Structure 1
Amino acid sequence: MKKLILTMAIAVMGFTAVFAQDSTKRAKRQMPKLTAEQRAEKTTGMMEKKLNLTADQKQKIYAIELDKAKKMDAFRTEDRAAIKGKMKDRKADLEKSKADLDKILTTDQKSKLDAFRAEAKEKGGKMRKGMGRGKQDKAPVVSNPPAQG
């Protein structure tokens, strides 16, 4: 009788351990490969919807975004050694395109865009932490340490 109970207990613990593992991992969704024109159109469309752009603003922003997307494509096709050396140039290009956008947008539109960028940055930071970068081995916190003596 004891062997039967012991066997049942071990079986229950084994099944619990097996089913406790997450077997429903989400498959990584493949992002479609967009051309520079498609990315510029997508970004411009998003800005038009969020910022209520005029037709003239939309046309100018599309030109800036298209230039930025083409430069990014060229930047990505370079080899790793060249990329590390050109990071400052890439940052300067991004700042220039941001400044060009600021010249086109009204102050209300700029504030909306800045709020949207801040929200996206925060969301991206949370996603990166969820990928394991934020998890570091830390010493366990002991709420009630043993008495010395």
Structure 2
Amino acid sequence: MIESCTKKRMLLGISLLGGLTILVLIVESNWTESSSDNPFSENIEVNSTVIPNGEYEVISECHPCTAFEIASKSIGVCGHARYKEVIKYKKGETVTRSCDRVAWLEERKFWKFQALSFACAVLFCISVFWRENILRQRVIRKVARQLRASA
């Protein structure tokens, strides 16, 4: 079945599957909920007097702690997860809590992986075409040699 497909049909099929994959990733990233919205699974700095299940507003999104904050342990939550976010509770207190992942760093890693995979695919595709041409030329030379020998 797949052997009967032309190169144009194969390229079209692969392009459609790639486009569908990108569409699914975009839709999924917009529809999934963040796990950092759950206030019960968080680590809040020690000097906080607010109960963690109150209403809050995120002032600063999750971002990596600096090397100084990790080494000096000036912010206690940086020693735990290496990422922090600043939140403000409705009662007025502003606290720092740890978070597991930074969304934009994870997304950047994902796109780096996708770019590397695409570059490898292009490189291997070029090498396959190159090898195919070399083998085709060898067969043509062999047939020409046989024709010369028989004549």
TM-score using structure 2 length: 0.30
Which structure's residues are more often strand, by fraction? 2
Greater radius of gyration (CA)? 2
Which structure's residues are more often helix, by fraction? 1
TM-score using structure 1 length: 0.30
If asked which structure has higher relative contact order (CA below 8 Å, sep 6+), I would say: 1
